[in-house]
């Protein structure tokens, strides 16, 4: 299959943009696969109400078929066609954070095929906050199922070239709308019970949920996956974001972390190994050797989140043999950042 790669100019919604949106929308409606940017990461879109289209998403990504897809809508009135029951807490969360980086899990209506929900009777729904994503969903005139547009197990794509790397030749079209803003996938929250449960941490934090609903729980498996708990979001149980090289998170006082990593760089280089390091603006000058990827200022969590996945991809490209990453604060958005880093490192932490 030939994959069309098209740049979209969001500042100028001219005739070319309208034509592109029309063609991409038609492709989706007819069962095709179109990758597009959202404010979190790039999604791989298909008609959510067409079971064959959903099945082809799993095939293109190499994704296990029990891992349900997120259904994207552009207008709130589409929600009641898909969700069987919308609780008061769900309504409050929608008012506060849609459109935005928040996915809600509802009891599903029959119109949503089981192929889209990985066989579950619930459906995950999100209204993204990205002009192109919203325009595309409207143009498709159908809800759009869209997992992150990567090969299963690889870091989620934050740039169109990442999608190209993974899915060229496997999907119909990639729309390049520039780098995504948040860089970490949406917060997934189960709102089928009275108290909302966070199944996957994201930019909408537990504190932000609690501020509008008064109460929130977090799926214990989010924090304790290494302890063997079964997560309630099926996707959270799979090996994720894994770089090609083994990765370790180094935890401790800043100076001790730098000393440890520098020691390792030296030891590895004797063996001819190339060491990759995920560092910050504060530490970019202190490492001696290796491939350094600076993901931003420690105080600026938005920058850390935005650059994390592309850092993991860059380390693959550079062909490093082993990776060390600094440890980050786990408060607020930091919880989502550390959740992804821990998964990428298969929970290997070195305390110094």
Could you list the residues that contact Mg ion (CB under 5 A)? 148
Query: Looking at beta carbons, which pairs linking 326-331 to residues 24 or more positions away fall under 8 Å?
Result: 326/249, 326/250, 326/257, 326/278, 326/279, 326/280, 326/283, 327/249, 327/250, 327/251, 327/252, 327/257, 328/298, 328/301, 328/304, 329/298, 329/301
344 in contact with ligand TXA (CB under 6 A): no
Which tokens sit at 56? 């082809």
37 in contact with ligand TXA (CB under 6 A): no
Quote the DSSP letter at residue 173.
E
Q: For helices 15-29 and 131-140, give the axis angle rounded to 10 degrees.
A: 50
Task: Give which of 158, 176, 136, 173 is closest to 33, Cα–Cα.
Answer: 173
Q: Which is nearer to ligand TXA, 122 or 339 (CB)?
A: 122
Residue nearest to ligand TXA (CB): 235
Q: How far is the CB of 147 from ligand TXA (least distance, A)?
A: 3
Number of residues that bind ligand TXA (CB under 6 A): 30
Q: Which is nearer to Mg ion, 153 or 220 (CB)?
A: 153
How far is Cα 223 from Cα 55, in angstroms, rounded to an integer? 31
How far is Cα 51 from Cα 69, in angstroms, rounded to an integer? 12
Quote the DSSP letter at residue 88.
H
Beta-carbon count within 10 A of 299 CB: 11
48 in contact with ligand TXA (CB under 6 A): no
Q: Which is nearer to Mg ion, 62 or 214 (CB)?
A: 62
Q: Which is nearer to ligand TXA, 43 or 276 (CB)?
A: 43
Residue nearest to Mg ion (CB): 148
Out of 21, 41, 173, 247, point to the residue binding ligand TXA (CB under 6 A): 41
Instruction: Give the footprint of ligand TXA on residues 185-244 (CB under 6 A).
Output: 185-186, 188, 199-200, 232-236
Q: Which is nearer to Mg ion, 200 or 268 (CB)?
A: 200
Residues 89-128, mask of contacts with ligand TXA (x by CB under 6 A): --------------x-x-----------x--x-xxx-x-x
CA angle 64, 68, 72 (to 5 degrees): 135
Quote the DSSP letter at residue 78.
G
Chain positions contacting ligand TXA, by CB under 6 A: 38, 40-41, 43, 67-70, 103, 105, 117, 120, 122-124, 126, 128, 146-148, 185-186, 188, 199-200, 232-236
């Amino acid at each position: 299959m030939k994959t069309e790669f098209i740049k979209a100019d969001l500042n100028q919604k001219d005739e070319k943009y309208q034509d592109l949106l029309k063609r991409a929308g038609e492709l989706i409606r007819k069962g095709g696969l179109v990758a597009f940017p959202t404010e979190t990461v790039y999604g791989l879109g298909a008609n959510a109400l067409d079971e064959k289209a959903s099945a082809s998403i799993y095939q293109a990504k190499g994704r296990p078929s029990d891992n349900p897809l997120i259904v994207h809508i552009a207008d709130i009135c589409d929600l009641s066609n898909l969700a069987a029951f919308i609780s008061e807490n769900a309504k409050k969360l929608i008012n506060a954070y849609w459109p935005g980086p928040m996915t809600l899990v509802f009891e599903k209506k029959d119109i949503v095929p089981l192929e889209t929900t990985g066989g579950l009777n619930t459906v995950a729904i999100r209204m993204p906050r990205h002009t192109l994503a919203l325009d595309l969903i409207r143009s498709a005139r159908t809800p759009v199922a869209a997992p992150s547009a990567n090969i299963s197990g690889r870091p989620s794509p934050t740039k169109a070239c990442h999608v190209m790397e993974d899915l060229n030749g496997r999907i119909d079209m990639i729309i390049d709308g520039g780098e995504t803003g948040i860089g970490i996938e949406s917060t997934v929250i189960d709102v089928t019970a009275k108290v909302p449960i966070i199944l996957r941490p994201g930019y909408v934090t537990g504190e932000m949920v609690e501020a509008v609903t008064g109460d929130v729980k977090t799926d214990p498996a989010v924090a304790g996956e290494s302890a063997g708990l079964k997560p309630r979001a099926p996707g959270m149980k799979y090996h994720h974001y894994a770089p090609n090289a083994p990765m370790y998170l180094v935890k401790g006082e800043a100076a001790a972390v730098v000393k440890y990593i520098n020691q390792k760089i030296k030891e590895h280089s004797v063996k001819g190994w190339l060491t990759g390091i995920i560092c910050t603006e504060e530490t970019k000058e202190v490492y001696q050797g290796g491939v350094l990827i600076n993901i931003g200022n420690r105080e600026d969590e938005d920058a850390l989140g935005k650059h994390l996945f592309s850092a993991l991809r860059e380390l693959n490209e550079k062909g490093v043999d082993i990776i060390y990453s600094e440890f980050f604060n786990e408060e607020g958005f930091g919880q989502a950042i550390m959740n992804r880093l821990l998964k990428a490192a298969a929970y290997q932490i070195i305390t110094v």
